[in-house]
Amino acid sequence: MDFKELEKKWQAAWDKAKLFEANPKEGVRKFFCTAPYPYLNGPLHLGHAFTYTRLDAYARYWRMNNRNVLFPFAFHATGEPIVGAAKRIAAKDPKQIKVLKDSGVGEREIKKFTDPEKIVAFYAALNKDLAFQLGLSIDWRRRFTTIDPHYKQFITWQYLRLKEQGYVAQGTHPVIWCPACKSPTGDHDRLEGEGVSPVAFTLLKFKFEDAFLVAATLRPETIYGVTNIWLRPDSTLVKATVGSETWIISKSAAAKLQEQQKIVTVGDTINTPELIGKHVQNLATNEDIPILAADFVDPDNATGVVMSVPAHAPFDLMALRDLENAGTIKKGSLVPVQVVAVPGLGANPAATVCEKYKVKTQHDANLVSATKELYKKEFHIGTLTDKTGKYAGKKITDVKDELVADLMKAGIADTMYEPEAKVVCRSNDVCIVKILENQWFLTYSNPEWKKQVQKNLDRLTLHPDEIRPAFIYTLNWLQDKACARKSGLGTRVPWDSEWIIETLSDSTIYMAYYTIAHIIKKEKIAPENLTPEVFDYVFLGTNKKKIKTVPEAVLDTMRKEFLTWYPVDIRLSADELVYNHLTFFLFHHTALFQPEHWPLGIGVNGMVSVEGEKMSKSKGNFITVIDALETYGADVTRLALLSSAEGLAQPNWNATETRSLKTWLSRLLTWCQQNYKPHPGRKIDEFLFSRMQGYVERAQQAYETGRFRTALQAAFFSPVNDIRWYLRRTDTVGEALPYALDLVVRMIAPAVPHVAEECWNRLGNTGFVSTAVFPTLQSDLISEVAEAAEALIQQTAQDITEVQKIVGKKPKKIVIYVADFWKYDVYATMVKGASKGSIADLMKNPEIKKHGNDVIKFVERLKKTKLTQLLNHDEELAALKDATPFFRKEFDAEVEVRSARDVDDPKAKRAEPGKPGIVFT
């Protein structure tokens, strides 16, 4: 039977039986699991499939352990990308149109997708279908999209309550900004400058006539060592009114400052060369210093005015030397002033490093390295000299903030932001820094809030726990986060309708909404009737008396449903979301819900790669669920993903290996069809019975902690290999085989549910394996002896093969010798550790003493290895005798099993416990 056909059949059967609709049974524990809803700008891909399949495995496992299980699903539409996609379609962008076509949209339909809501509706339907075809055991009644009016009411409630508690505040923040797009330029929107953030320059004002020449620096402490000002003669400077002052700065700086909350009026352009040679006053030292020309000044960076600190800036020093050498200024007329002392760098640190790097002029390529080295050393270990007045003797790191504050207070300093490196927007425009005003922030920096989250984190179960440091790190690092934008889809900030709640910020506690989503739908509650008070009652149990918008009975049903499912037992996601979404999830729960409703567990997994490479559209290795289902079907896809990686490892999708998994599933399907008539009372059955117990135990533990690769090894791959061995070992099947098949089928049901259902059916069961009981350990079936016996037989078969290979011909007869009694005695003694290799003790036993030298050699050998308890002489003999027919069949020869005690053959004498002697005749 074709896999796809088989899958369709069982999906339809589950759906008809409403198997996954979560209608809780009384008196039964619950399990509520969720994963982030997918974003609706494309079809689900393998990354989604991985997380969702993992979640489904949890859900199905617990369903088979008699829990009420809720696995809900919804769709994310908030934010810019969908609107952007709609716009691109309107603009007939071929890439975007191809995405649609690949998702199955016909040529004629495409123009409809200029409406964002159409895109939402389309992908919601498509992805629902894909999730269904993957066999995810979802309660579909509860689905929604984040732009549904009902959901928006829920978000409104959330933000009202957050604001009341002081967790939402307005703030002002520097962002990288594209002047053309008039919006912040996030990393993903940049052609150049990924990871670049705003950096604050200190502006230092130097008095020049009735104005200030304003220099920008990252090292304001060096103001005490300024010897001159640098300008580039060809740069365009303007007089600009900034507040009540007049600044002389570059034209572009004036424009930038307008975006940084400065009231700037641009006035006359200055004839820059005329300034050269004139003097300004350093207001920190009251010295008069000259303005000089230098080529290295970049007029587009900061103010275009640079102060010169030749003792600490290699560029400044070299530019001065160049002027001296050219005779523009007198040698020694400007003396470097040391303001930072670093041991070993002398009175002029800049000169010292320039010498080290053999730098001679301001055009030297090594200047950058020299500068880097010096800045680093001075910043980390430098102390300020007595030229700096009250800061003398201190470390820069310790006084920098204070120093800047003092200079500001004195009116000689200000601040200007620049990107720390060049940033170019996708629109091809160079970005600047803008200070965004009145932006709404979630105050994640709030120490009280953080403390609450810490409490939640302390008791949170993490799968795997290795991810914990990442959470702790994030918690400490997290600052206030902007939570609103001015464009895109989503819910408006309830008290400030210009703003729309941003996408990560509206997706933090929606798991609570799942608990009531189906009731809202079923009762046809109008969105406006979902007032904040309704949610207060449902989620917090406040007074419901005043609520008139929703009937009391419905309110009670919702409240009950919430109490049934909350808190979330596990939330699953890719590890990259720890740093934002998963942590926000904790923050918002602690802020809004009672502690008994805070999350209980989080599971994370690595990002899926394809053939060893990160999946990306541009690389062409982007595999959608549509592709995977088409090529492999649901169960093979699921099996490939689940068995590919666990923990934090990155799962890798490999087409060849995935294909081979089909064979494995087919093997099982075939066996389940055989309808074996078991023969009772067979020795080898003890082995299989026993083996299965170990697998059950391991599979249980692994499923419970989300280690699905291990789970499948124990539930599927290992038992299948054992069954293969079993079938090789025996002609007639015993009771252990149907037993093992039954267990395997139930154990793999959480991972490959369709094949499991089919097998379950073929084994003659009625009902669904999806709701059958997961196997439990039967400790009375464990037999170490049986397992050891089988290992011995396997080992012996291998040894015979080995010998046969060396001999180069097939034997007529094989005699297998079990080692002499005394060796077992010695071995057993050593295992117990009784004599720890003390030969004298062993020799007290006359049976052993008889063998003198052989004993000593044997003991010396055993001392070198770690010993494990093995079978005794009689058990080995029995096991091998029992396997005689097997050996006979395997090697096509007469086989005899004997004890070495009875013969004198030297090869027989070499036999040891666990390693029988083999003699060919």
Partner RNA sequence: GCGAGAGUACCCGAGCGGUCUAAGGGGCAAGGUUGAGGGCCUUGUGGCUUAGUGCCUUCGUCGGUUCGAAUCCGGCCUCUCGCACCA
By CB under 7 A, what part of segment 552-611 binds RNA?
Answer: 575-577, 579-581, 607
Q: Within 10 Å of residue 91's Cβ, how many Cβ atoms? A: 9
Q: In the window 831-870, what residues touch RNA (CB under 7 A)?
A: 865-866, 868
Q: Report in angstroms how near the CB of residue 38 gets to RNA at its nearest.
A: 9
The candidate with the shortest Cα–Cα distance to 309, out of 284, 343, 273, is 284
In this complex, which beta carbon is closest to RNA, that of residue 201 or of residue 716?
A: 716
Q: In the window 398-437, what residues touch RNA (CB under 7 A)?
A: none
In this complex, which beta carbon is closest to RNA, that of residue 780 or of residue 904?
A: 904
Give the one residue of 622, 664, 676, 821 binding RNA; rule: CB under 7 A: 664
Binding to RNA by CB under 7 A, coded x per residue (else -) over 668-687, reads -xx-----------------
In this complex, which beta carbon is closest to RNA, that of residue 22 or of residue 714?
A: 714
- 461: β partners: 601
In this complex, which beta carbon is closest to RNA, that of residue 295 or of residue 576?
A: 576
For residue 498, give the amino acid letter.
Answer: E
The verdict on 438 binding RNA (CB under 7 A) reads: no
In this complex, which beta carbon is closest to RNA, that of residue 561 or of residue 787?
A: 787
Collapsing DSSP states into helix, strand and coil, what is residue 523? coil
Strand order, beta sheet including 481-482: 183-184, 168-178, 432-442, 481-482
Alpha-helical (H) ranges within 594-654 are: 625-632, 634-642
Binding to RNA by CB under 7 A, coded x per residue (else -) over 163-192, reads ----------x-xx------xxxxxx----
The candidate with the shortest Cα–Cα distance to 309, out of 287, 277, 276, 278, is 287
Helix (H) or strand (E) holding 28: none
* Tokens matching residue 651: 């799962």
The verdict on 656 binding RNA (CB under 7 A) reads: yes
The residue count for the chain: 921
Only one of the segments 46-54, 76-84, 279-287, 451-459 lies at the binding site for RNA (rule: CB under 7 A); that segment is 76-84
Q: Within 10 Å of residue 165's Cβ, how many Cβ atoms? A: 14
Q: In the window 786-805, what residues touch RNA (CB under 7 A)?
A: 797-799, 801-803, 805
Q: Report in angstroms how near the CB of residue 281 gets to RNA at its nearest.
A: 37
Q: Report in angstroms how near the CB of residue 55 gets to RNA at its nearest.
A: 19
Phi, psi of 271 (to 5 degrees): -85, 95
- DSSP character at residue 180: T
In this complex, which beta carbon is closest to RNA, that of residue 351 or of residue 574?
A: 574
In this complex, which beta carbon is closest to RNA, that of residue 575 or of residue 685?
A: 575
Q: Report in angstroms how near the CB of residue 527 gets to RNA at its nearest.
A: 23
Q: Report in angstroms how near the CB of residue 712 gets to RNA at its nearest.
A: 10
E strand residue ranges, 503-639: 570-574, 601-605, 609-610, 613-614
Specify whether the backbone of 371 is left (phi greater than 0), alpha (psi in -120 to 50) or beta.
Answer: alpha
* Tokens matching residue 723: 């069954």
The candidate with the shortest Cα–Cα distance to 399, out of 590, 595, 151, 224, is 224
- 604: β partners: 573
Q: In the window 707-766, what residues touch RNA (CB under 7 A)?
A: 709, 713, 717-718, 721, 724-725, 728
In this complex, which beta carbon is closest to RNA, that of residue 415 or of residue 650?
A: 650
The candidate with the shortest Cα–Cα distance to 88, out of 99, 77, 79, is 99
In whole angstroms, what is the distance from residue 306 CA to residue 283 CA? Answer: 15
Give the one residue of 103, 197, 461, 529 binding RNA; rule: CB under 7 A: 197
Q: Report in angstroms how near the CB of residue 726 gets to RNA at its nearest.
A: 10
In whole angstroms, what is the distance from residue 913 CA to residue 397 CA? Answer: 71
Q: In the window 450-509, what residues touch RNA (CB under 7 A)?
A: 466-467, 469-470, 473, 477-483, 485, 488, 502-504
Q: In the window 97-156, what residues touch RNA (CB under 7 A)?
A: none
Q: Please state whether beta strands 237-242 and 183-184 pair in parallel, antiparallel, or not at all (unpaired).
A: unpaired
Q: In the window 626-645, what residues touch RNA (CB under 7 A)?
A: 644-645
Binding to RNA by CB under 7 A, coded x per residue (else -) over 21-60, reads ------------------x-x-------------------
Q: Report in angstroms how near the CB of residue 298 gets to RNA at its nearest.
A: 22
Q: Within 10 Å of residue 779's Cβ, how many Cβ atoms? A: 8
The verdict on 649 binding RNA (CB under 7 A) reads: yes
Q: Report in angstroms how near the CB of residue 12 gets to RNA at its nearest.
A: 19
Asked whether 509 and 581 are in contact (CB, 8 A), the reply is no
